[in-house]
Chain A
Amino acid sequence: MYFDWITWSIWLIGLVILIVWIVVPLKEFKKLVAQHRKPHAEEQTPSA
Chain B
Amino acid sequence: MNHLDYIIVFGFLALTFYVGSFFYRWIGSTDDFYVAGRKLTPFILAAVLTATNVNLYSFVGQAGIAYKHGISILWQTWTGNMALVFSGLFVLPILRRLRIKTIPEFLEMRYSKGVRTFVAVLWVFRLAFWLGVISYTAAIAAQPITGLHSFTAWILIFSVIAIIYTTLGGMWSVAFTDVMQFVFMMAGALVVLPLAMSQVGWWPQLVAQLPAESLTLVTQAGTYNWKFILAIFLLGIEWACVDQGLLQRAFGAENTKTVARGLVLAGIITTPFALLWNIPGLASRVLYPGLENADMAVPTLLANLLPNVVLGFVVCGLISSHLSTISGNLNGVATIFASDIYERVLNRKATDRDVLRIARIVTAITGIAMIVFAYLVPKLGGAVNAYLTIIAIMDMPLFVVAILYGLLWKRANWQGAIGGYAAGAVAGIIGTFWYELDFNTTTFISAGFALVFTPVISLLTSVPDPEKVHPIWSARRTSEEELRTNNVYHILPRTAPGRVSLSILVFGLLVFLVGVFLGSEGAAEASFIAVAGMILYFVGGLGRAYTN
Q: Is the pairing of A and B real?
A: yes
A7 and B186: CB pair below 8 A?
A: no
Contact A4 B279 (CB under 8 A): no
Interface residue A38 (Cβ < 8 Å from any Cβ of B): no
A17 near B41 (CB under 8 angstroms)? Answer: no
Which of B187, B193, B204 makes the CB contact (< 8 A) with A18? B187
Interface residue A6 (Cβ < 8 Å from any Cβ of B): yes
B47 adjacent to A21 (CB under 8 Å)? yes
In the bound complex, CA of A11 to CA of B195 (Å): 11
Q: A18-B183, A21-B179, A25-B44 are in contact. Are A11 and B190 (CB under 8 A)?
A: yes
Are A4 and B269 touching (Cβ within 8 A)? no
Among B26, B39, B194, contact of A11 (Cβ-Cβ < 8 Å): B194
A9 to chain B, nearest CB (A): 9
Q: Does B118 contact A (CB under 8 A)?
A: no
Tell me whether chain A's interface is mostly helix, strand or loop, or mixed. Answer: helix
Q: CB distance A7 to B272 under 8 Å?
A: no
Q: A48 to B281, alpha carbons, bound, how many Å?
A: 67
Contact A7 B276 (CB under 8 A): no
Partner of B47, one of A6, A11, A14, A25: A25
Using an 8 Å CB-CB cutoff, how does the interface string of A13-43 with B read, 1 for contact, 0 for none?
1110110111011001101100110000000
Q: Kindly state the separation between the CA atoms of A29 and B45 in the bound complex, as whole angstroms.
A: 12
B193-A21 in contact (CB<8A)? no
Is B272 a contact partner of A21 (Cβ separation < 8 A)? no
A32 B202 Cβ-Cβ under 8 A: no
Q: Once the chains are docked, how many angstroms separate the CA of A11 from the CA of B171?
A: 31
Q: How far is the CA of A7 from the CA of B283 in the complex (A)?
A: 12
A-B contact count (CB 8 A): 67
Question: Which residues from chain B contact A17 at a C-beta distance below 8 Å?
Answer: 186, 269, 272-273
Contact status B179-A15, CB under 8 Å: no
Chain B residues, CB < 8 A from A14: 186, 189-190, 193, 272-273, 276
B182 an interface residue at 8 Å Cβ cutoff?
A: yes
Task: Specify the chain B residue showing the minimal Cβ separation from A9.
Answer: B272
Interface check B24, CB cutoff 8 A: no
| Nearest Cβ on chain A to B91's Cβ, whole angstroms | 25
B275 on interface, CB distance cutoff 8 Å: yes
Q: State in angstroms the CA–CA spacing of A28 and B41 once bound together.
A: 7
Confirm or deny: B197 has a beta carbon within 8 angstroms of a beta carbon on chain A.
yes
- Give the residue name and chain of the B residue nearest to A13 (CB): B272
Q: Is B203 an interface residue (CB 8 A)?
A: yes
List the A side residues contacting B41 at CB < 8 Å: 25, 28, 31-32
Report the minimum CB–CB distance from B137 to chain A (whole Å): 24
Selected contact of A10 from candidates B43, B46, B279, CB within 8 Å = B279
Listed A/B pairs (19) with beta-carbon separation below 8 Å: A4-B204, A7-B193, A7-B197, A7-B202, A7-B203, A10-B272, A10-B279, A14-B189, A14-B273, A15-B190, A17-B186, A17-B269, A17-B272, A18-B186, A21-B182, A24-B43, A25-B179, A31-B41, A32-B41
Interface contacts beyond A14-B273, A17-B273, A21-B269: sample of 19 additional A-B pairs, CB < 8 Å, sorted by A: A4-B202, A7-B193, A10-B275, A11-B276, A13-B272, A14-B189, A14-B276, A18-B187, A18-B190, A20-B43, A21-B43, A21-B47, A21-B179, A21-B182, A21-B183, A21-B186, A24-B43, A32-B39, A35-B39
Residues of chain B whose beta carbon lies under 8 Å from any beta carbon of chain A? 26, 39, 41, 43-44, 46-47, 176, 179, 182-183, 186-187, 189-190, 193-194, 197, 202-204, 269, 272-273, 275-276, 279
